[in-house]
Amino acid sequence: MNKSPLLLALVLALSGCQTLTTQDSDSQVANQANEQLEGASPDDINNALKINAQYQQVADDNDDEAAPIFDDVWERIRYQLSIKVPQNRPVVTQRNYYAKHQAYLDRISKRAEPYLHFIVEEVEKREMPIEIALLPIVESAFDPFGYSNRSASGIWQFMPQTGERFDLKQNWWYDGRRDIVQSTRAALDYLSYLHKTLDGDWLNAIAAYNSGEGRLLRAIKKNRKKHLPTDFWSLDLPSETTAYVPKLLALADLLKRSDDFNVTWQPVINAQVVEVVDVGSQIDLALAADMADITLTELYRLNPGFNRWATDPNGPHFLLLPVDKAEQFSQKLALTDAKDRLRWQRYTVVRGDSLSVIAKKFTTSSSAIRSLNKLSSNTIRVGQKLLVPLTDGAINSEHLPKQMRLAANKSTRTKLSHTVKSGDTLWDISREYDVTMDDLAKWNKLRKNSVLRLNQKLTVYKSANKTQTAKNRTDRTITYKVRRGDSLARIASKFNLTINDIIKWNNLAGEKYLQPGQKLKLKVDVRSS
């Protein structure tokens, strides 16, 4: 028997007549295939299954090749913009404002660079409008230490009560409203809830994120009584909220049609640049930075939720680290006992002591002492030996001998002067000089939420061993996922690298081919790539 017609018929039957073109109708082919199946052997059927799988793979490959590939996160967002933007006065007014402030858009890209890829991934996972990823621009201009005059905090600007409602822990040690990972999770939870509560209207949900669902529901109820429309543009809302949604739509329009308005969105590499690492217990952040081989300033920038010198003894026990530092950090962490993850000293309880008195004396908290000593209560007794966490702040505490404080603080520093430019914040300046916001505020007798004046002079101290400022360090290690059609030469050309470097960084010696989905570590210059 000639097997070719049989195999053809079997393949057509198995594939639902979708992969091959024939002059016969689908029903005729299916009838012929069914007749052939009666006399087909198991080998014939297996061969037909293999051929059908090959056809399906070709179809899948074609689908993959049709999917767009983005090297810039802004381009990735632009491709998915879906909310219709009306060209009305509120939107046009906001868009014209942003279009005239290119320097502001440049600062947005610089601030968003460590976080934007993560946020876009989270929004896509939930199948929410990609415009949501632009909301931190409206809320905080991507400043994780941003505070409002109503006590909202973080890039998503959570009020304390709303933060508690969505399980954002807030205490002496830690403020989850500033935690990039946790606040993003909470913000998307809140927006999803609002979308459902407000009958699937995204503009109303976004407006409610600003003013609260109660206000939106009252405005909708008021319009319904008057038999008026209940879309965002028809509601009577506070002036701040009526400008809030147009700001987001204006940014989306400006991103979609950037050429029309002669603006530039500075590229942000479309690759994973940070990774969440489970620490498992409280850890001194200076020690964590040393284990990860990054500066303490950089660690705080990636983990702005921490208020103190260490993580909360009761958690969360997660750190956000650069992807190229996560593995070596985890290896060093595994070799470090929990009690050695904090700097500590021995202390003997004296008359009049309580945990709170001792905590104040050593610039720590009662819970930290209780956790380190595995105490079940706050009860202590005279003569009891305790381990007390020793903080960076303790070197300035009065209980230490004067000579010890002077020795601890002795360092060679260079005094610099910074002139405030339009749009500068303490956060931006601290990044530029690789110092902490706390130090910058203390040196200039300012609060961390102080508004700076144009041309104001600020004092900055740089340690002698910090010869390179953050603005000069543009190298980043990213995780790049290999796409269909990629080769070492193509990837090297795309990121201005050498093939030998990629091979060395990823131990590829002897491997002939890259596989789609394979992950590569690349050290790239984020300004030139």
Q: How many whole angstroms separate alpha carbon 430 and alpha carbon 436?
A: 6
What is the CB neighbour count within 10 angstroms for residue 363? 18
Angstrom distance (rounded) from CA 201 to CA 217: 12
Q: Residues 113, 131, 139, 275: which is the catalytic one?
A: 139
- Helices 73-80 and 239-256, packing angle to 10 deg: 110
DSSP for residue 528: T
Spell out the SS3 assignment of 192-252.
HHHHHHCCCCHHHHHHHHHHCHHHHHHHHHHHHHCCCCCCHHHCCCCHHHHHHHHHHHHHH
List of E strands, 364-508 = 385-389, 413-419, 457-463, 475-481
- Tell me the CA distances in angstroms from 468 to 131, 286, 425, 458, 479, one per residue in order: 37, 19, 21, 19, 25
- C-alpha to C-alpha distance for 213 and 209, rounded to whole angstroms: 7
Q: Which residues pair with 457 in a beta bridge?
A: 419
Count of beta carbons in the 10 Å neighbourhood of residue 216: 25
The helix (H) or strand (E) run that includes residue 321 is strand 318-322
**Environment class of residue 375 by beta-carbon count within 10 Å: exposed (0-12), middle (13-18) or buried (19+)?**
middle
DSSP run (H or E) holding 384:
none
Q: Is 139 a catalytic residue?
A: yes
How many CB atoms are located within 10 Å of the residue 403 CB? 8
Return the active site residues: 139
